[in-house]
Structure 1
Amino acid sequence: MTKLYKHWRDYPVSDWRWPDFSPQEIACRGTGRLMVVPEAMDKLQALRSKLGAPMIVNSAYRSPEHNRAVGGARASKHMEGIAFDVRMDNHDPDTYIAAALSVGFKGIGTYPKQNFVHVDARPMRASWGKPFARRRATPKFAPEEPREADTVAKDGQAKATLAGLGGAVAASGGVVTGVGGLDPVAQYIVVAGFVVTGVALVYLFRKRLARLARLAE
């Protein structure tokens, strides 16, 4: 049963059964009035569920005065509350139109320059407008690519190498703490040994990283 409300805020929230849309989205942009045709809204919700992606509604119900103000057709289906203009920012137009027809929309209008598609629930099939240039749908977020098992293993090897070097450096630090009690010659010998050890560790570390880099290619 079609219902008309003076303002979309007057619609009982508990009666709204289309979870992916709101009364404000469907209301007249110029006056705030809301006409709800359940059969048309059911088709709109079915289309949203079939697509599995958000729909940006440019225009749904229009009051007669607002329809005149925006240059709408004299017999526009928007004034009957059964038409919806949806932007194609995140949809492939061909896929969108096929889905709209499959859920029962009969009227299809394409507006590539304005980047939206009009659908309505008229009883007979009708179509108009120019075709969109062929393109692929643009997802909102790019899916995260799965990591390869060997990449995970290589990361583990690198972490193990770093941990080993860290342990060696820590151990060296503990020995250096006790050097202060030795005579100058002994201190020189110990420090020189640490320098040689440090250079060797750096060389081994760089060699290990180079090997891991070759494995990753």
Structure 2
Amino acid sequence: MSKHFKQSEFACKHCGQTKHDPHLVALLELVRLKFKAPVIVTSGYRCPTHNKNVGGAPKSKHVEGIAADIKVKGVAPSEVFDYLDSTYPDCYGLGLYSGWVHVDTRSQKARW
């Protein structure tokens, strides 16, 4: 899939199906390069059943296979969010949570 990511990291935790966006994987490789630390994908693709079970948004980008929730080892989520927000101010979906950052490759900007 890429130098630092395996397809299994993006697999649905409910059914094991995989769907991923190569652009998202490339973006996560850039995050790894920036912080010189492993990027852990805590949630990638979600089938509709899994998305409902975890309380995901009905139109979640995870269901489209263009989103990942990530942690960067040894780096505060706010630092990862700030880097992505300042580097890509006009596009992508970014969400800051207490323990992770949501990243998706939608074409328009969305922040929360």
Band the TM-score falls in, shorter-chain normalisation: 0.7 to 0.9
Q: Against the structure 1 CA distance between its residues 103 and 41, is the aligned structure 2 distance closer, same or farther, given a 3 Å change threshold?
A: farther
Is residue 79 of structure 1 aligned with residue 79 of structure 2? no
Q: Give the corresponding residue for 1:145.
A: none
Q: In the TM superposition, what whole-angstrom CA distance separates every residue of 1:24-73 from its partner, at most 9, and x where no partner exists? A: 11111111100021112111112211221011211011111111111110
Structure 2: unaligned runs, 5 residues or longer: none
Is the partner of 1:56 in helix, strand or coil?
A: strand
Q: Against the structure 1 CA distance between its residues 109 and 63, is the aligned structure 2 distance closer, same or farther, given a 3 Å change threshold?
A: same
Structure 2 Cα separation of the partners of residues 94 and 67 of structure 1: 25
Q: Against the structure 1 CA distance between its residues 19 and 45, is the aligned structure 2 distance closer, same or farther, given a 3 Å change threshold?
A: same
Q: Which runs of 4 or more aligned residues in structure 1 lie more than 3 Å from their structure 2 counterparts after TM superposition?
A: none
Amino acid at match of 1:66: H
Shift of 1:98: 2.8
Is the partner of 2:102 in helix, strand or coil?
A: strand
- The structure with the largest strand share of the pair is 2
Counterpart pick for 2:93 among 91, 107, 119 = 107
Q: Give the corresponding residue for 1:20.
A: 4
Counting matched residue pairs gives 110
- Check conservation: 2:95, 2:101, Cα contact below 8 A: yes
Structure 2 Cα separation of the partners of residues 49 and 103 of structure 1: 16
Shift of 1:109: 1.0
Shift of 1:87: 2.8
Structure number with higher relative contact order (C-alpha < 8 Å, ≥ 6 residues apart): 2
Shift of 1:106: 1.7
Please, what TM-score do these two structures have when normalized by structure 1?
0.47
The higher radius of gyration belongs to 1
Q: Identical aligned pairs, as a percentage?
A: 38
- Check conservation: 1:47, 1:103, Cα contact below 8 A: no
- Check conservation: 1:40, 1:121, Cα contact below 8 A: yes
CA RMSD of aligned residues (A): 1.9
Structure 1: unaligned runs, 5 residues or longer: 1-15, 129-217
Structure 1 Cα separation of the partners of residues 111 and 3 of structure 2: 28
Is the partner of 2:50 in helix, strand or coil?
A: helix
Q: Give the corresponding residue for 2:49.
A: 65
- Check conservation: 1:87, 1:117, Cα contact below 8 A: yes
